[in-house]
């Protein structure tokens, strides 16, 4: 249904509000709105309400927008700086010339600038808005603003502390105005931005005035470089970064080595949408991602530090960074960090489309950890940015993780908020990805997978084999992914990597009840593979808390750990019984409570923001849950395994003794075999 011809402007804000309400009364009473709403959207709304957090800002999308009637002639919006923005800026937006400051006056940062006020091509369709997971019967903006703040964030504005006289009579001031300022944290998103001053709050906004467009000094600047492994050798490392320029660039590393980038991108056409219901990604949430560059640095040594920079002479260069390669598969010792469901939050007082309130504390603590130089790699197991169709939020997420992902390998698994969408091949037909369908995820985070949209892979670091699956793609018996995970785990050389950690997004066990918490079919299909292949530990996210189980299979404890005087748990897998399972989705998203305290398999439950440290040697693998606010360890467990004869690899013992590289051991092995 089109709203063309609906009254867009009127003589007062009351009339505007009345018109909007009338339009929506009419539209909501139309049968085409109610009966055509697909069940998947209704279901996704339930999921969003119960399982996710969407800020008040959600009501802005697709709202009819008009100029406020009779704006006063003194009104001004000034931005400092007002052009050539740096890659990261704290911009000051000052509104002045206001006669009577109102609590519901607000400022939005909008990008791209083009057509942001063109409502004629912006049908206010409830079905389009439903893709965000909310069915409020509200009018909607054409473009979703990047971020917004109420002017009341500056108390000087509401109190009119800074008065300015605009008119004098007989030497006395007869007309004065008020002003106020807001700080906006801005990062280089390549496209020009503008600041728009609104009256009427988020529910009945009208435009008072707007700034001139602000440009970034270098929209082509290479930014947000992040590392990932391409294999288990520790001798190569992929760097992926973003730039506004599509010409290949370079990464320069080590002693003057250079690799040229492969360049890719994705377009609005790549975003999925069902014809009846355009997705946010294809519609009001679209933002041009620029170009994504990726290059593999080769000829490195495992567990070693190298320096690099990326870019080109024509577009500019990044800063110089240092990174550490992970230990080669089969070597002795690994320190890693692991978590799920982090997301992002603004570095100012703004509201945004989707905010994960714990993400800043967690990223701060993780930065300290990585800066200590102790950690070799990071695993983020699904629900990364929560962009969910509002694509500029990927840039903010990439910027947020840069301090850690530029230093060590940042390996990922796909989550529902990267991948799920109806009719797109995901197991779950919710609209959780907002139409992204894994396309931005796979472009920004290329993992060592076999093909596009098959985001499962394994990697070995030191004594650990990580099998990483997609819970969002078919895992049913005999599916391609099922066959892959069965073969992958069956072919592990446990003398080389005695530990097997299985990771994905949705859990098999949780004490947070809910219809979307655990899929019994997933457990029935995949859990037997974990037991058959003697998985030591399974790590999942999706539920937003921390929970550790006994050694569990089919809902029953097969073995219990011993507990030391400090509460640390020790599982002995010398005589293997079942995997230990842990939920670790507590890295940023609003926390979930434990609704069921009666599970005997559940040994530790913590609903606090944090992450997990892992440390593996050949005989022991240990984990610590760290509270990000205090950096204190609030749960500690380890798994021991006496090296049985079947797992002992003499060459590994020799590796430790002789201090030679793993590839030399491999050559020795080959020689040994040929001599037999």
> Do 489 and 528 touch, CB atoms closer than 8 A?
no
Q: How far is the CB of 383 from Fe ion (least distance, A)?
A: 4
Closest by alpha carbon to 125, among 55, 30, 43?
30
Q: How far is the CB of 60 from Fe ion (least distance, A)?
A: 24
Contacts with 658 (C-beta within 8 Å, 6 or more apart), sequence order: none
Integer CA distances (angstroms), 448 to 31, 380, 415, 460, 616, in order: 49, 15, 17, 12, 22
Q: Nearer Cβ to Fe ion, position 302 or 415?
A: 415
Q: How far is the CB of 444 from Fe ion (least distance, A)?
A: 18
Q: How far is the CB of 611 from Fe ion (least distance, A)?
A: 16
Look at the block and give the residue holding tokens 């703040």. 149
Number of Cβ within 10 Å of residue 430's Cβ equals 22
Phi, psi of 293, deg, nearest 5: -100, 145
Q: Nearer Cβ to Fe ion, position 542 or 605?
A: 542
Q: Nearer Cβ to Fe ion, position 94 or 510?
A: 510
Q: How far is the CB of 154 from Fe ion (least distance, A)?
A: 36
Q: Give the nearest residue (CB) to Fe ion.
A: 542
Q: Nearer Cβ to Fe ion, position 59 or 381?
A: 381
Q: Nearer Cβ to Fe ion, position 45 or 181?
A: 45
What is the pattern of x (binds Fe ion, CB under 5 A) and - over residues 388-427?
---------------------------xx-----------
Q: Nearer Cβ to Fe ion, position 98 or 338?
A: 338
How many positions of this chain bind Fe ion (CB under 5 A)? 4
List 542, 548, 618, 641, residue binding Fe ion (CB under 5 A): 542
Closest by alpha carbon to 366, among 379, 357, 383, 385?
379
Number of Cβ within 10 Å of residue 453's Cβ equals 16
> Do 225 and 319 touch, CB atoms closer than 8 A?
no
Q: How far is the CB of 542 from Fe ion (least distance, A)?
A: 4
Q: How far is the CB of 477 from Fe ion (least distance, A)?
A: 24
- Name the segment binding Fe ion (CB under 5 A); options: 207-215, 449-457, 538-546, 574-582: 538-546
Phi, psi of 55, deg, nearest 5: -70, 170
Q: How far is the CB of 416 from Fe ion (least distance, A)?
A: 4
Q: How far is the CB of 585 from Fe ion (least distance, A)?
A: 7
Helices (H), 117-154: 126-130
- Name the segment binding Fe ion (CB under 5 A); options: 6-14, 260-268, 515-523, 541-549: 541-549
Q: How far is the CB of 432 from Fe ion (least distance, A)?
A: 7
Exposure letters 339-361 (e unless 16+ CB within 10 A, then b):
bbbbbbbbbbebbbbbbbebbbb
Q: Nearer Cβ to Fe ion, position 213 or 340?
A: 340
Q: Nearer Cβ to Fe ion, position 225 or 585?
A: 585
CA distance 350 to 355: 10
Contacts with 36 (C-beta within 8 Å, 6 or more apart), sequence order: 127, 276
Phi, psi of 7, deg, nearest 5: -65, 120
Q: Nearer Cβ to Fe ion, position 416 or 533?
A: 416
Q: Nearer Cβ to Fe ion, position 291 or 354?
A: 354
Integer CA distances (angstroms), 529 to 374, 508, 621, in order: 33, 13, 21
Could you give the count of Cα atoms lying within 13 Å of 224 in the half-sphere of its Cβ?
27
- Name the segment binding Fe ion (CB under 5 A); options: 250-258, 447-455, 540-548, 653-661: 540-548
Q: Nearer Cβ to Fe ion, position 542 or 608?
A: 542
Of residues 11 through 40, those in contact with Fe ion by CB under 5 A are none
List 383, 393, 420, 536, residue binding Fe ion (CB under 5 A): 383
E strand or H helix that includes residue 178: strand 172-187
Q: Nearer Cβ to Fe ion, position 66 or 416?
A: 416
Closest by alpha carbon to 377, among 453, 321, 302, 441?
302
Q: How far is the CB of 535 from Fe ion (least distance, A)?
A: 21
Q: Nearer Cβ to Fe ion, position 383 or 649?
A: 383
CA distance 662 to 160: 70
Q: How far is the CB of 394 from Fe ion (least distance, A)?
A: 17
CA distance 16 to 12: 6
Does 519 help bind Fe ion (rule: CB under 5 A)? Answer: no
- DSSP state at residue 327: P
Closest by alpha carbon to 382, among 94, 597, 583, 96?
583
Q: How far is the CB of 40 from Fe ion (least distance, A)?
A: 17
3-class state of residue 396 by DSSP: helix
Site residues (vs Fe ion, CB under 5 A): 383, 415-416, 542
């Amino acid at each position: 249904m089109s709203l063309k011809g609906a009254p867009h402007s009127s003589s007062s804000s009351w009339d505007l509000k009345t018109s909007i309400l009338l339009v929506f009364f009419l539209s909501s009473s139309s049968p085409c709105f109610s009966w055509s709403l697909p069940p998947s959207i209704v279901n996704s709304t339930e999921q969003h309400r119960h399982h996710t957090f969407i800020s008040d800002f959600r009501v802005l999308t697709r709202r009819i927008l008009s100029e406020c009637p009779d704006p006063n002639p003194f009104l001004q919006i000034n931005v400092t700086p007002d052009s050539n923005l740096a890659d990261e800026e704290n911009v000051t937006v000052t509104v002045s010339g206001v006669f009577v400051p109102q609590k519901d006056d607000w400022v939005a940062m909008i990008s791209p600038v083009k057509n942001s006020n063109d409502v004629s091509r912006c049908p206010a369709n409830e079905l389009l808005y439903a893709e965000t997971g909310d069915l409020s019967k509200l009018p909607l903006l054409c473009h979703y603003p990047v971020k917004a703040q109420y002017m009341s964030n500056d108390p000087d504005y509401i109190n009119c502390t800074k008065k300015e006289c605009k008119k004098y009579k007989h030497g006395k001031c007869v007309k004065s105005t008020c002003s106020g300022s807001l700080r906006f944290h801005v990062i280089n998103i390549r496209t020009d931005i503008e600041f728009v001053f609104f009256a009427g709050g988020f529910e009945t906004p009208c435009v008072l005035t707007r700034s001139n467009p602000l440009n970034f000094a270098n929209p082509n600047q290479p930014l947000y470089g992040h590392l990932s492994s391409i294999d288990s050798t520790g001798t190569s490392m992929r760097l992926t970064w973003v730039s506004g320029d599509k010409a290949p660039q370079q990464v320069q590393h080590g002693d003057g080595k250079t690799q040229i980038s492969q360049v890719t991108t994705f377009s609005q056409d790549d975003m999925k949408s069902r014809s009846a219901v355009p997705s946010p990604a294809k519609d009001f949430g679209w933002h041009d991602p620029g170009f994504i560059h990726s290059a593999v640095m080769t000829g490195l040594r495992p567990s070693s530090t190298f320096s690099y920079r990326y870019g080109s002479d024509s577009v500019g260069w990044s800063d110089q960074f240092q990174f550490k390669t992970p230990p080669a598969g089969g070597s002795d010792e690994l320190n890693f960090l692991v978590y799920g469901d982090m997301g992002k939050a603004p570095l100012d007082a703004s509201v945004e489309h989707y905010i994960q309130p714990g993400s800043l504390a967690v990223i701060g603590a993780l930065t300290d950890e990585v800066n200590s130089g102790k950690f070799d790699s990071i695993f983020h197991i699904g629900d990364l940015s929560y962009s969910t169709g509002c694509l500029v939020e990927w840039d903010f997420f990439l910027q947020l993780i840069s301090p850690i992902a530029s230093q060590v390998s940042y390996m990922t698994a796909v989550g529902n908020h990267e991948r799920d969408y109806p009719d797109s091949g995901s197991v779950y037909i919710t609209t959780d990805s907002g139409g992204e369908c894994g396309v931005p995820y796979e472009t920004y985070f290329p993992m060592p997978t076999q093909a596009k949209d098959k985001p499962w892979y394994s990697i070995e670091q030191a004594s650990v084999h990580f099998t990483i699956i997609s819970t969002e793609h078919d895992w049913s018996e005999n599916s391609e992914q099922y066959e892959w995970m069965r073969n992958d785990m069956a072919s592990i050389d446990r003398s080389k990597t005695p530990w097997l950690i299985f990771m994905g997004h949705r859990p098999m066990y949780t004490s947070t009840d809910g219809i979307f918490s655990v899929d019994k079919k997933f457990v029935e299909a995949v859990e037997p593979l974990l037991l058959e292949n003697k998985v030591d530990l399974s790590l999942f996210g999706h539920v937003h808390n921390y929970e550790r189980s006994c050694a569990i299979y089919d809902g029953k404890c097969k073995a219990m750990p011993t507990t030391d005087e400090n509460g640390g748990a020790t599982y002995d897998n010398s005589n293997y019984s079942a995997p230990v399972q842990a939920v670790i989705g507590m890295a940023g998203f609003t926390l979930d409570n434990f609704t069921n305290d009666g599970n005997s398999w559940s040994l530790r439950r913590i609903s606090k923001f944090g992450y997990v440290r892992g440390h593996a040697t050949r005989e022991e693998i240990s984990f610590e849950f760290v509270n990000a606010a205090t950096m204190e360890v609030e749960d500690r467990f380890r798994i021991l395994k006496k090296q049985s004869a079947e797992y002992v690899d003499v060459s590994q013992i020799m590796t430790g003794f002789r201090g030679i590289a793993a590839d030399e051991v491999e050559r020795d092995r080959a020689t040994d075999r040929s001599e037999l």
